[in-house]
Structure 1
Amino acid sequence: MEMKKRINLELRNRAPEEVTELVLDNCLCVNGEIEGLNDTFKKLEFLSMANVELSSLARLPSLNKLRKLELSDNIISGGLEVLAEKCPNLTYLNLSGNKIKDLSTVEALQNLKNLKSLDLFNCEITNLEDYRESIFELLQQITYLDGFDQEDNEAPDSEEEDEDGDEDDEEEEEDEAGPPEEYEEEEEEEEEDEDEDEDEAGSELGEGEEEVGLSYLMKEEIQDEEDDDDYVEEGEEEEEEEEEGLRGEKRKRDAEDDGDEEDD
């Protein structure tokens, strides 16, 4: 499939200005040149054109946001100065398996100030004596050459970096969205339990108040009955005293009457 048709297929009804990644591996470049790619891909950050029989970068459009460019397994032998002009913000460039033979060809990459990782594996230039030392000296802005830094420490996998970035984005989204639904459900259950406890405590308190009220009323009734009994007893005592007084007066009158009879 020709590159132009492949680009239309990869768009999937999207507008070119919406695309951030474009993979065109294993398609065919007519005359070894780029076709169908233009300046409308303004947001493109990742472009892969591996094994497409590409020999020239002359028709590469301006892609100011492009960060990663895969050009492995092609027949590129020069013309790398176009990259600094068209893709000034490149950080990763893979030229492995191309026809790059000498340091002068790579020297054109000095103007890619943001370039951090360069891959020239399986290029003839790797057969040069002191190849790695020469490249690191020539391109002092890069950190990794063929996947390793100057101390032979392996470069982090780009996929792992992307996954870490995705995880960070997910965490930020979770923070913005608030606590998960499970956490909210637990909170609701706890609140319901607290309400039930309060209701039970309230009912127990109500029963206690009723018991206290009943005992208080019973005590009041008992006290009233005792007061009534005391009143009755006092009334009976007064009646008895009055009766005794009357009996005393009667006895006195009887005695006086007896005395009068004796005098007669």
Structure 2
Amino acid sequence: MEMKKRISLELRNRNPAEVVELVVDNCRSSDGEVEGVTDEYTQLEVLSMVNVGLASLSKLPSLPKLRKLEVSDNSISAGLDSLVENCPGLTYLNLSGNKIKELSSIEPLQNLKNLRSLDLYSCDVSSLEDYRDGVFKLLPQLTFLDGFDPEDNEVPDSEDDEDDEAGPLGDDDDDEEEEGSDADEDEVGLSYLMKEGIQDEEDDGDYVEDEEDDDDEEDDEEDGAAVQGEKRKRDADDEGDDDDDE
């Protein structure tokens, strides 16, 4: 697919001035130049044109807010001056897999004062002796070359990953509150159980007392019955005596 047609599809009826990121990888430039990207893309911050057959960046328009440019796997060999003029805020540039052979080809990048990361992996220049030292010396503003700093420390994870590791603010407080809530629940639960235990003991005591009261009542009934029986016996004896007298 031609680059212009691909860009038209990526727009999806949007106004170019609204586009912040534009990816047109693996399409095809008809003449080896940037096509379809114009200075109407005033808000564009990320532009990716990987493997589109570019031989030059001379027709790259003015993109004052562009900070990341991906043009790997093309045929660019020189002509990087246009980046300095048209993309002064560039911080990341990926030129890996292009035809850059000499350090002199990247000298124009000295004027990109915000450039922090540069990729030249798989370019002929990367096979030169003292390649890394030479690039860092030529471009002192760089922090990373091919993903590593001058001390061979790998580029850190994205800021998003760092934020994830740090965790959202307030998590510790929430944990403490949850722990406090659990402790309160445990305390309430323990108090409840203790209260239940005490109540059970009291109920058992009442039950014993009730049993004792019942026993006393039964004893009283038995005593009363014995007294009544004794009375009946005396009455019967008295009646017998009366009969004898008669």
Q: Does 1:32 align with 2:32?
A: yes
Match of 2:64 in 1: 64
Match of 1:147 in 2: 147
Deviation track 1:197-234 (CA, whole Å, cap 9, x = no partner) reads xxxxxxxxxxxxxxxxxxxxxxxxxxxxxxxxxxxxxx
Amino acid at match of 2:31: N
Distance in 2, Cα, partners of 1:32 & 1:78: 13
Distance in 1, Cα, partners of 2:164 & 2:34: 32
Distance in 2, Cα, partners of 1:166 & 1:113: 30
Distance in 2, Cα, partners of 1:112 & 1:30: 29
Match of 2:83 in 1: 83
Match of 1:43 in 2: 43
Could you tell me which runs of 5 or more consecutive residues in structure 2 were left unpaired when the two chains were aligned.
171-246
Deviation track 1:90-143 (CA, whole Å, cap 9, x = no partner) reads 000000000000011011110100000000000000111100000000000000
- SS of the residue corresponding to residue 32 of structure 1 reads coil
Alignment of 1:1-264 (within 5 A): 1-157=1-157, 160-162=158-160
Change (3 A) 1:10 1:165: farther
Shift in Å at residue 165 of structure 1? 7.0
Distance in 1, Cα, partners of 2:161 & 2:9: 27
- SS of the residue corresponding to residue 31 of structure 2 reads helix
Between structure 1 and structure 2, the one with the greater Rg is 1
- SS of the residue corresponding to residue 31 of structure 1 reads coil
Amino acid at match of 1:85: E
Distance in 1, Cα, partners of 2:66 & 2:155: 20
Change (3 A) 1:167 1:148: closer
Distance in 2, Cα, partners of 1:16 & 1:91: 22
**Normalising by the residue count of structure 1, what TM-score does the alignment of the two structures yield?**
0.61
Change (3 A) 1:82 1:142: same
Change (3 A) 1:123 1:148: same
Amino acid at match of 1:155: V
Amino acid at match of 1:75: S
Distance in 1, Cα, partners of 2:134 & 2:91: 20
- SS of the residue corresponding to residue 69 of structure 1 reads strand
Q: Is the 8 A contact 2:58 2:80 kept in 1?
A: no
Q: Is the 8 A contact 2:55 2:75 kept in 1?
A: yes
Deviation track 1:58-89 (CA, whole Å, cap 9, x = no partner) reads 11010000000001000000001110100000
Distance in 1, Cα, partners of 2:154 & 2:165: 23
Change (3 A) 1:165 1:58: farther
- Report the RMSD for the aligned CA atoms in angstroms: 2.4
Aligned residues between the structures: 173
Shift in Å at residue 13 of structure 1? 1.6
